[in-house]
């Protein structure tokens, strides 16, 4: 188990680096694109190409990690990240919007560091509370990266292109370092298991049912983070609290810090004490429903601030235990495929949820999105309860 813990800490560090630079780029990119004369369409296209790379990677790379090994895919993801950030730096140096756009594709592919690291957690832990605890630690690593990234982007001492150069250099070092220090964790397949593995997981009814249940809170969560909270905050900037960009940024940063703390302490502790993934998911969904209903009924900046800790705590649950829940329902030799399937579904919802939330807010008013979220979270609680029975 000591070796396993060593591997787990290594992949958690990789997740921190990955999300630090991903969130850093989300802050920097609009400014760089604008400096190159890019339009709003150009800025949106940068995220679209990134999403395309992530989608392709989610379909292909996690499943390949079951066949080729986790180490190979993690090294490949780091190399793709180094390539992508290097292309972005070259594009900015040459004032080429095209190169900047192309650079987002390998960075999107590299996003599978998180997905494959979940498979590593499943490889190195038993299908008990220990696995759930380490999934919570991974959520802490992810949230830590989301906190560090914007801070890196704001460091004027690094210069205009310094943060991107730093990202390229770090991943250029991480890729060969993984070759040297990261052991392989994927279980070996025998011929019989390889024959069984030819039936895709998405064709199995139990797996589909779990994905459907997990899609309900994910749809509400993406709606909340992607559109509803920030858009509604701008619309209600009329009370004693200023709801401008700095205020929204501070709320989001504080939420990320709280998410990291709750995931690494409360969630991990409850998992160690034997709380099931289903129970914890019910708790998280119920908490997020309460936060959404608070904003829906009170419709004020104060309501957003008051509900933020509850939403952040719930977010730590919803970013920790879905992967643990799914991983315990599939064979150990197919953890990569399962985690990739979860990411494919999540990526699809990240495309659909913002548009749906925006349509609801335009058609029925800003608060309607929060009522919609509450319904989704409560439906997930009911569904998880019925499945448990």
pLDDT in tens, 296-308: 888 777 777 788 7
From CA 71, how far away is CA 56, in angstroms rounded?
19
From CA 100, how far away is CA 69, in angstroms rounded?
31
Q: Is the pLDDT of residue 278 over 90?
A: yes
How far is CA 85 from its chain centroid?
20
Q: Is the pLDDT of residue 343 over 80?
A: yes
Q: Which residue has the tokens 């991480």?
A: 174
CB 93 within 8 A of CB 147: no
Domains 2-182 and 201-388 share a fold: yes
- Between 148 and 246, the more confident residue is 148
Q: What is the mean pLDDT of residues 152-164?
A: 75
Q: Which of 127, 84, 89, 47 is nearest to 347 (CA)?
A: 47
Q: Is the pLDDT of residue 239 over 50?
A: no
Q: What is the mean pLDDT of residues 214-240?
A: 68
Q: What is the mean pLDDT of residues 241-257?
A: 60
Determine what percent of the chain is predicted with pLDDT higher than 90.
Answer: 46
Q: What is the CATH number of domain 2-182?
A: 1.20.1250.20
Q: Is the pLDDT of residue 279 over 90?
A: yes
Query: Residue 3 has what pLDDT?
Result: 47
From CA 247, how far away is CA 368, in angstroms rounded?
23
**Count helices and strands in the chain by DSSP H and E runs:** 17, 0
Q: How far is CA 156 from CA 197, 230, 232, in A?
A: 51, 26, 31
- Domain borders along the chain are 2-182, 201-388
- Is 365 strand, coil or helix? coil
Q: Is the pLDDT of residue 339 over 60?
A: yes
What does pTM read for this prediction? Answer: 0.85
In the CATH hierarchy, which top-level class contains the domain 201-388? mainly alpha
Predicted confidence (pLDDT) per residue in 115-126, tens digit: 999 999 999 999
CB 69 within 8 A of CB 368: no
CB 24 within 8 A of CB 149: yes
Q: How far is CA 381 from CA 7, 346, 387, in A?
A: 34, 19, 10
């Amino acid at each position: 188990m000591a070796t396993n813990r060593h591997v787990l800490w290594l992949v958690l560090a990789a997740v921190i680096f990955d999300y630090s630079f991903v969130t850093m780029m989300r802050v920097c990119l609009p400014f760089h694109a604008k400096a190159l004369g890019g339009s709003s369409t150009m800025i949106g296209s940068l995220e679209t190409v990134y999403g395309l790379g992530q989608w392709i990677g989610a379909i292909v790379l996690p499943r390949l990690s079951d066949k080729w090994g986790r180490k190979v895919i993690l090294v490949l993801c780091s190399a793709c990240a180094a390539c992508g950030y290097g292309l972005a730096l070259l594009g900015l140096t040459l004032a080429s919007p095209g190169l900047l756009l192309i650079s987002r594709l390998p960075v999107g592919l590299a996003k599978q560091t998180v997905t494959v690291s979940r498979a590593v957690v499943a490889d190195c832990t038993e299908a008990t509370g220990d696995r759930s605890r380490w999934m919570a630690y991974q959520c802490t690593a992810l949230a830590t990266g989301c906190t560090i990234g914007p801070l890196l982007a704001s460091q004027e001492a690094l210069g205009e292109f310094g943060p991107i150069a730093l990202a390229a250099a770090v991943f250029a070092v991480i890729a060969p370092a993984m070759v040297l220090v990261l052991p392989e964790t994927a279980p070996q397949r025998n011929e019989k298991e390889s024959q069984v593995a030819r039936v895709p997981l998405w064709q199995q009814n139990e797996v589909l049912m779990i994905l459907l249940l997990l899609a309900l809170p994910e749809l509400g969560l993406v709606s909340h983070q992607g559109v509803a909270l920030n858009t509604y905050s701008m619309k209600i900037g009329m009370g004693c609290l200023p709801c401008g960009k700095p205020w929204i940024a501070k709320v989001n940063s504080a939420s990320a810090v709280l998410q990291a703390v709750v995931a690494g302490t409360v969630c991990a502790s409850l998992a160690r004490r034997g709380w099931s993934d289903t129970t914890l998911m019910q708790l998280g969904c119920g908490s997020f429903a309460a936060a959404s209903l608070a904003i829906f009924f009170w419709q004020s900046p104060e309501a957003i601030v008051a509900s933020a800790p509850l939403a952040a705590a719930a977010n730590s649950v919803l970013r920790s235990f879905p992967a643990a829940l799914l991983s315990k329902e599939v064979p150990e030799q197919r953890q990569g495929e399962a985690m990739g399937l979860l990411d494919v579904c999540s990526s699809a919802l990240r495309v659909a949820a913002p548009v749906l939330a925006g349509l609801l807010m335009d058609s029925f008013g800003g608060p309607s999105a929060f009522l919609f979220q509450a319904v989704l979270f409560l439906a997930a609680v009911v569904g998880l309860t019925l499945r448990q029975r």
